[in-house]
Amino acid sequence: MKFDIWSVLIIVFIFQGIFIVASILVSPIRRRRTENSYLFFIIVTLIWYLAEFLAVRNRFDIGLPTFFGTRYGSWFLLGPLTYFYFKSITDRSWRFSRTDTLQLLPFIVSAIILPLFFKGAISNRQVDYGMLSVFDHREKIISPIQYLYSYIFILQFIHLGFYVLKNLNLVRKYEVGLTAEYASIDLKVKWLKIFNFLFLLILSFSAVFLYLLLVTDVYRRYLDYIYVLPMGVLFYLISYYLMGTEWKTIDEKISKYTGSSLDIDNVPLYRERLDSLINEERIYLKNDIRLADLAKMLDLKTYHLSQLINQFYGVSFFDFINGFRVEEAKYIIKQNPELTLLEAAYQAGFNNKTSFINAFKKFEKVTPSSYKEQCKFS
């Protein structure tokens, strides 16, 4: 084995992945979470890809052809696994069903079944010079199954890109649902986006690699690292931000007003009671206030309250509460210049600095620190 910096990094990433898998298995709390079951298989799959690349790079002859799964379309597995993972987070009522198994068919057929029936599915030239070497100008004899696998090699990356876009759409809807129901959003939601953007980065690098290969007709093995190394970053991301998170549940009815029977005639009364809770009791100062809590105070169904806020105040529950918090923070900053911005944020009902800054910039178009500076001269 070539123990250069690249091989050492890959080995480090592999052991990091093994550590994450072990962390999920040994922790009863993490093991019980449905989403971590899919995360487990995602990590095992990524470990497989890294081990495969290490073997190819060092010319290890593993006796099992399917071990070199990228040649056979093993990346068809990653898209569905990530989709199941994000679905289990964003829709807590979702459960894996038989129809979901159909999404695994491209992987099962290309990476498991076909190799069993076609022993020479991959030519020596494809092994030595890359799967797309069948398209170069050199004279050669290529069987139909070898051509097929060359196209499968490309399609598996397109397939993953399709699922990444589906995942991002799930996260977007999840965020919308959270803003309808919660006044504060777990900052780890942004890591769900980063998780997918890293996959898009891997796919973009892969596209660059394949383009250079097709245009120049020269296989540069070292360029494989442009999609291998981001996998290591994914392991880091998963270990520190995702596997230990307890994700919030959202109620689909709230954003859709399913079966809404809100009494329009009583809306003025509801608004009067809501205004009283805001202006007199200042319930927005509770940093853990939820739509469900406020609905209980008003003796309303949660989706009725969401409809009331959306349609008659023109904002989401998230912006409704945080708008009052920002006004409170402005008052505190102006009246108590000796307080730090973080102290002002906590007193106004925010539970973290990032949420405070983002909300302040959204409503006031300036940062809290800039506003504090302006107050000195007013």
Whether residue 259 sits in one domain with residue 168: no
The answer to whether position 114 is within a domain reads yes
Whether residue 212 sits in one domain with residue 313: no
The answer to whether position 60 is within a domain reads yes
Whether residue 358 sits in one domain with residue 265: yes
Convert the chain into a string of H (helix), E (strand) and C (coil): CCCCHHHHHHHHHHHHHHHHHHHHHHCHHHHHCHHHHHHHHHHHHHHHHHHHHHHHHCCCCCCCHHHCHHHHCHHHCHHHHHHHHHHHHHCCCCCCCHHHHHHHHHHHHHHHHHHHHCCCCCCHHHHHHCHHHHHCCCCCCCCHHHHHHHHHHHHHHHHHHHHHHHHHHHHHHHHHHHHHHECCCCCCHHHHHHHHHHHHHHHHHHHHHHHHHHHHCCCCHHHHHHHHHHHHHHHHHHHHHHCCCCCCCCCHHHHHCCCCCCCHHHHHHHHHHHHHHHHCCCHHHCCCCEHHHHHHHHCCCHHHHHHHHHHHCCCCHHHHHHHHHHHHHHHHHHHCCCCCHHHHHHHCCCCCHHHHHHHHHHHHCCCHHHHHHHHHCC
Full residue range of the structural domain in which residue 228 is found = 5-242
The answer to whether position 211 is within a domain reads yes
The answer to whether position 159 is within a domain reads yes
The answer to whether position 300 is within a domain reads yes
The answer to whether position 325 is within a domain reads yes
Last residue of a domain, one of 196, 217, 242: 242
Q: Model-level pTM?
A: 0.79
Whether residue 118 sits in one domain with residue 236: yes
- If you average pLDDT over every residue of the chain, what do you get? 84
The answer to whether position 231 is within a domain reads yes
Last residue of a domain, one of 188, 207, 242: 242
CA distance 189 to 175: 8
Whether residue 132 sits in one domain with residue 17: yes
Whether residue 263 sits in one domain with residue 232: no
CATH number at residue 333: 1.10.10.60
Whether residue 209 sits in one domain with residue 315: no
Whether residue 261 sits in one domain with residue 230: no
Whether residue 161 sits in one domain with residue 295: no
Whether residue 362 sits in one domain with residue 296: yes
Please tell me the predicted confidence (pLDDT) of residue 213.
67
Question: Cβ distance 93 to 264 under 8 Å?
Answer: no
Instruction: Give how far the C-alpha of residue 52 lies from the chain's centroid of Cα atoms, to the nearest Å.
Output: 25
Per-residue pLDDT in tens (0 to 9) along the chain, 378 residues = 566 777 888 888 899 999 999 999 998 888 888 999 999 999 999 999 999 888 877 777 777 777 888 888 999 999 999 999 999 999 888 999 999 999 999 999 999 988 888 777 777 776 766 666 666 666 666 778 878 888 898 899 999 999 999 999 999 989 888 888 888 777 788 889 988 998 888 888 777 777 776 666 655 555 566 667 788 888 888 877 788 888 888 876 665 554 556 677 778 888 899 999 999 999 999 988 999 999 999 888 888 888 888 888 888 899 999 999 999 999 999 999 899 999 999 999 998 888 899 999 999 999 999 999 888 776
CA distance 13 to 2: 16
Structural domains counted in the chain: 2
Q: Which residues does 225 contact at the CB level (< 8 Å), separation at least 6?
A: 6
The answer to whether position 247 is within a domain reads no
Last residue of a domain, one of 192, 220, 242: 242
CATH number at residue 19: 1.20.1070.10
Whether residue 194 sits in one domain with residue 76: yes
The greatest distance separating any two alpha carbons of the chain, rounded to the nearest whole angstrom, comes to 84
Q: Which residues does 53 contact at the CB level (< 8 Å), separation at least 6?
A: 10, 70, 224, 228
The residue written with tokens 């608004």 in the block is 271
CA distance 239 to 83: 19
Whether residue 256 sits in one domain with residue 238: no
